[in-house]
Structure 1
Amino acid sequence: MVERRLTLGILAHVVLCLGVILIVFPVYLAFVASTHTSQEIVQAPMPILPGDNIWASYKGALLGEGAGGGSQAAVGRMMWVSLVSALIITIGKIAISLLSAFAIVYFRFPFKMACFWAIFITLMLPVEVRIGPTYQVVADLNMLNGYAGLTVPLIASATATFLFRQFFLTVPDELVEAARMDGAGPMRFFKDVLVPLSATSIAALFVIQFIYGWNQYLWPLLVTTKEDMYPVVIGIKRMLAGGDAANDWNVVMATAILAMLPPVLVVILMQKWFVKGLVDTEK
C-alpha cells in the first residue's frame, strides 16, 4: 500500500511539473524575447537565453519609444488606464452585488423573487450578446474614450449577486434579532455584521473580477479610439502592424510581460484570502 501511494505521489508530481513547464515556458520565451533586439528575435533559431537589451526594451515599452509600424502609446499610460478600469469594475461589481443581495434577502417588497430572477437571467445576456445596443447607449451619452464608457456597462454582476445572496441566506436569524434588539438599523447591520462576515467572499471575488476587468478586450476595442485611453491589452494589439519586420517584437514582448505583472501580484498578495473564500465550508 505504501509503495502504491509513493508511485501515485511521484506520478502526480510529474504531471504537475509538466503542467508548470507547459504554462511557464511561453512566458519565459516572452521574457527572453524582451531582452533581445527585434532583429535577433526574428532570426532562426530564436535565442532561448536572455540577452543584454532588457533595459532598452522595457524603457521603450514604458515610454512609447518603439520604432515599429504600430501604435507608439506609452505602456505606462496604458497600464494606468487598465488599472483604473479594473478597480472601478471590481469595486463597483462588489458594492452593487452586496447591496442588491442584501435587499433581496432582508427586505420585503412586491415581486422580490421576480426581481431576483430578472437579475439572474442576465447571466444569459453577456456583453457580447448586447454589445450593439450597449455601444449605442454609450455613444449617445458621450461616454466613448473615457473611464465611464470602459467601466459602466461592465459594472453589474449577476454572478456576484447570486453568490452573496446564497451566503446571506446562511447567516443565522439570531444575528438579525440581536442587531435589532441593539437598535441597529438595516444599514448598520449591513455595515457592521454582513460585510465583515463576507470578507473572504469579497476577497475571492475581488481577485476574479480584477483579472476579468484587466483582461477586457472586446468592449475596450469598440469604445476607445484614442491612444491615451487604450488599456494595455488593446495596446498590445495596436502595436502589431503586420509583418515581422514592421514590428518591434522586443517592445511587444516587454509590454506583454508588464501586462502580466498586476494580475500576478493581486493573486499572490490575496492568495490566502482567495483560497479561503472558495473553500470555506461555512459558505
Structure 2
Amino acid sequence: MVENRRYRNLLAYLVLTVGVVIVAFPVYLAILASTFDAATIINGNMPLVPGDQAAENYYRTIFVGASRTSREPVGLMMMNSFIMAIGIAVGKIVISILSAFAVVYFRFPLRMTAFWVIFITLMLPVEVRIYPTYKIVADLGLLDTYTGLILPLIASATGTLLFRQFFMTIPDELLEASKIDGAGPFRFFKDTLLPLSLTTIAALFVIQFIYGWNQYLWPLLITTKSSMQTIVIGIKKMITTQDALTEWQIAMTTAVLAMVPPVLVVVFMQRLFVKGLVETEK
C-alpha cells in the first residue's frame, strides 16, 4: 500500500514537472532572447545560456524604443497598461460590491430581475457589444483617453455574482446587531461588510488586474496615438511581416517586461487571492 502511494506520488510529480517545463520553456526562451542581439536570434544560433546584451536591450526598450519601427518607449506603454489595469480592477470592484450590496440587503421592486439581467450579460461575448460601445465612446470624444480605455470595461457581472454569493453567507445577526447599535446602511457597509470582504476584494482585484493588463481588442480600437498604446498592442506592432524589420531582441524584451506586473501582483497577493476564492466558495 505504501509502495503504491509512493509510485502515485512520483507519477504526480513527474506529470507536474512535465507541465511546468512545457509552460515555462517558452518564457525562458523569451528571457534568453532579451539578452542577445538581433543577428544571433535571427540566425538561429542562440545558445541556452544568457548573453551579454541584456543591459543595453532593456535600457533601449524602456527608455528609447524600437528605432526601426519608430515605436514609443515601452516604459510609456507599461504606464498606459498599468493605469488601464488599475482603473478597470478598482472600477469593477467598486461597482460590483455596491451592486451586490443593493441586491442582497435592500428590498425594492424587480430586485431579482435586475440581478438576472446583470447575470445574463455573462452569456454575451464582448464582440456583440463592441460596436455600440465604440460608437458611444467616439460620440463622447473619449478616443485616445484613459477614460475611454477604462470606463466601458468596469461593469462586471462576475464580480457582482462573486460578492452576492459572499454576502449571502454573512449571518443576518450582524445586520440586526448593526441596526440595534443605530448604524445605517452605509455604516453597516463600511464598518462590517468591507472588512469581511477584504479577501474577496483581493481575489477579484488579481483577476481583474490581469484581465485589464491583457486587453488587446478594445485598446486597439480606440487608440490611434502611439503615446496611448498599451504594451500588448506594442508587442504586436513590433513584430512585422518582414523579419528584416523586426527587432526581435526588443520584442522579446518587451514580452518579458509585459509579464512582470501581473506576476508581481499574483506573487504579493497570492495568499489573499487563494483565501478569497476558498471563502467565496463556502
Structures share a fold, TM > 0.5?
yes
- Structure 2 partner of 1:102: 101
- Structure 2 partner of 1:64: 64
Superposed displacement of residue 64, structure 1: 2.9
Superposed displacement of residue 124, structure 1: 1.8
* 151 and 199 in structure 1: CA distance in 2 versus 1, 3 angstrom threshold: same
Superposed displacement of residue 71, structure 1: 4.4
| Amino acid across the alignment from 2:103 | I
Which secondary structure does the structure 2 equivalent of 1:63 belong to? helix
- Structure 1 partner of 2:143: 144
- Structure 2 partner of 1:117: 116
Report if aligned partners of 2:66, 2:73 keep a CA contact under 8 Å in 1: no
Q: What are the within-5 Å matches in structure 2 for residues 1-283 of structure 1?
A: 1-68=1-68, 70-280=69-279, 283=282
- Measured in 2, the distance between the counterparts of 1:177 and 1:49 equals 64
Report if aligned partners of 1:217, 1:233 keep a CA contact under 8 Å in 2: yes
- Measured in 1, the distance between the counterparts of 2:70 and 2:146 equals 20
For structure 1, the residue ranges without an aligned partner over 5 or more in a row are none
- Measured in 2, the distance between the counterparts of 1:3 and 1:145 equals 63
Report if aligned partners of 2:88, 2:154 keep a CA contact under 8 Å in 1: yes
Identical aligned pairs, as a percentage?
A: 60
- Measured in 2, the distance between the counterparts of 1:134 and 1:67 equals 35
Q: What is the TM-score of this pair, normalised by structure 2?
A: 0.97
- Measured in 2, the distance between the counterparts of 1:126 and 1:156 equals 14
- Measured in 1, the distance between the counterparts of 2:51 and 2:3 equals 46
Report if aligned partners of 1:71, 1:239 keep a CA contact under 8 Å in 2: no
For the aligned residue pairs, the C-alpha RMSD in angstroms reads 1.2
Q: What is the TM-score of this pair, normalised by structure 1?
A: 0.97
| Amino acid across the alignment from 1:265 | L
- Measured in 2, the distance between the counterparts of 1:221 and 1:273 equals 33
Which secondary structure does the structure 2 equivalent of 1:280 belong to? helix
- Measured in 2, the distance between the counterparts of 1:32 and 1:235 equals 20
Of residues 117-126 and 2-11 in structure 1, the stretch that sits farther from structure 2 once superposed is 117-126
- Measured in 1, the distance between the counterparts of 2:156 and 2:145 equals 21
- Measured in 2, the distance between the counterparts of 1:137 and 1:108 equals 32
Report if aligned partners of 2:89, 2:205 keep a CA contact under 8 Å in 1: yes
Superposed displacement of residue 280, structure 1: 2.8
- Measured in 2, the distance between the counterparts of 1:184 and 1:28 equals 55
* 78 and 253 in structure 1: CA distance in 2 versus 1, 3 angstrom threshold: same
For structure 2, the residue ranges without an aligned partner over 5 or more in a row are none
- Measured in 2, the distance between the counterparts of 1:163 and 1:128 equals 24
* 11 and 219 in structure 1: CA distance in 2 versus 1, 3 angstrom threshold: same
Which secondary structure does the structure 1 equivalent of 2:3 belong to? helix
Report the number of matched residues. 282
